[in-house]
Chains A and B, each alone.
Chain A
Amino acid sequence: EADIYQTPRYLVIGTGKKITLECSQTMGHDKMYWYQQDPGMELHLIHYSYGVNSTEKGDLSSESTVSRIRTEHFPLTLESARPSHTSQYLCASSEVGGSGNTIYFGEGSWLTVV
């Protein structure tokens, strides 16, 4: 069982608010990811990191930002939330190197912007 935790699980906020989604893992993985899952179920990689002080943009452009100050922690921030940001956000982690490594997912953060 994966040890990767996301908070909050569910959040409803008003337009223009700043929000940070927290993600922590206890597996010592160097690589971490954020995926956005739209209501139609599709998953899109929006950010990833392969270690402390590294962040990269994923395949889908996102207005969110991420930071990686500690290995175990990979928060995602929206400076000014909009209804178009309503989605589920999934954090994940894996070991670095090799395409066969399993990626472990957290339970997700459901964000609704009203």
Chain B
Amino acid sequence: GNSVTQMEGPVTLSEEAFLTINCTYTATGYPSLFWYVQYPGEGLQLLLKATKADDKGSNKGFEATYRKETTSFHLEKGSVQVSDSAVYFCALSDPMNYGGSQGNLIFGKGTKLSVKP
């Protein structure tokens, strides 16, 4: 079945460090891929997405490239800030082309990032 595997946390970095959070997926068909972020006490917000192979999603200095050959969608940021401390979720959308399940998100387990000043 479809699944997402992302690196376990917590990840602790110093401010201005480089960030990589690994994400790989298993899916039939051609899913869309997403990164969501959850700040403490809040719901999830879309950070970026990519809908086809080789697409790069980017937002707020974060970026991730849809790599079909390695089934990966790693999240990167060149210089993290304290305000980036949050939980990051990689997700894929159900690529099945029938019924109401199309578009349902399957999430990885989340990676907690703490950035120290």
Contact = CB atoms under 8 A, between A and B. Distances in A.
A50 B100 contact: yes
Interface stretch (A11-19, A77-85, A90-98): A90-98
A54 interface: yes
B77 interface: no
Q: Which of A45, A59, A103 has the most CB of B within 10 A?
A: A103
Contacts of B42: 107-108
Interface residues of A, number: 31
B78 interface: no
B72 interface: no
Interface string A83-114: 00000001010101111111111111000000
Interface residues of B, number: 28
B45 A105 contact: yes
A43 B89 contact: yes
Contacts of A90: 43-44
Q: Which of B43, B51, B93, B107 has the most CB of A within 10 A?
A: B43
Interface of B: 30-32, 34, 36, 42-46, 49, 51, 87, 89, 93-95, 100-107, 109-110, 112
Interface of A: 6, 31, 33, 40-43, 45, 48-50, 54, 56, 58-59, 90, 92, 94, 96-108
6 contacts: A31-B100, A99-B93, A99-B94, A101-B103, A105-B43, A108-B42
